[in-house]
């Protein structure tokens, strides 16, 4: 079988496979997190999220709403040097983001069953 014919069969099969994968994974809401920052934020978002009483007035005074918190927990950066990643059973993470042209820092305690927003700092 000539090389050109083999390549043709290969690309036809490859194209059918790609179309098959696109069709089946099109509506699947899967997220692939390979980096530590993404893994931590995904784990926090998947847990039941609670806000500490000390953090609520800071959120209210800066007009930070629930959607803003979700955005920060999606696009923020985890500062691992200030986080306590080895605590048991709840790890504490410091998440930094820029929100409305201000630097915002969340301190989140991530437990096996829930995530607690302990502190908010807006600069």
30-67 burial, b if ≥16 CB within 10 A, otherwise e?
eeeeeeeeeebbeebeeeebebeeebeebbeeeebeee
Question: What would you report as the CA-atom Rg of the chain, rounded to the nearest whole angstrom?
Answer: 22
What was the pLDDT predicted at 12?
Answer: 94
What was the pLDDT predicted at 110?
Answer: 93
What was the pLDDT predicted at 105?
Answer: 94
- Predicted confidence (pLDDT) at residue 107 exceeds the cutoff of 90: yes
| pTM to 2 decimal places | 0.73
What was the pLDDT predicted at 99?
Answer: 85
What was the pLDDT predicted at 85?
Answer: 87
What was the pLDDT predicted at 100?
Answer: 86
75 vs 9: CA distance, rounded Å: 43
CATH number of 34-122: 3.30.2310
**Contact status, residue 92 vs residue 117, Cβ threshold 8 Å:** no
């Amino acid at each position: 079988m000539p090389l050109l014919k083999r390549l043709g069969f290969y690309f036809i099969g490859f194209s059918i496979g790609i179309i098959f994968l696109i069709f089946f994974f099109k509506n699947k809401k899967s997220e692939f997190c390979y980096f530590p920052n993404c893994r931590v934020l995904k784990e926090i978002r998947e847990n039941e999220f609670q806000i500490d009483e000390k953090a609520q007035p800071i959120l209210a005074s800066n007009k930070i709403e629930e959607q803003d918190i979700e955005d920060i927990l999606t696009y923020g950066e985890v500062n691992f040097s200030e986080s306590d990643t080895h605590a048991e059973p709840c790890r504490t993470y410091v998440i930094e983001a820029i929100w409305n042209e201000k630097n915002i820092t969340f301190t989140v305690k991530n437990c096996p069953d829930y995530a607690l927003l302990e502190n908010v700092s807006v600069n």
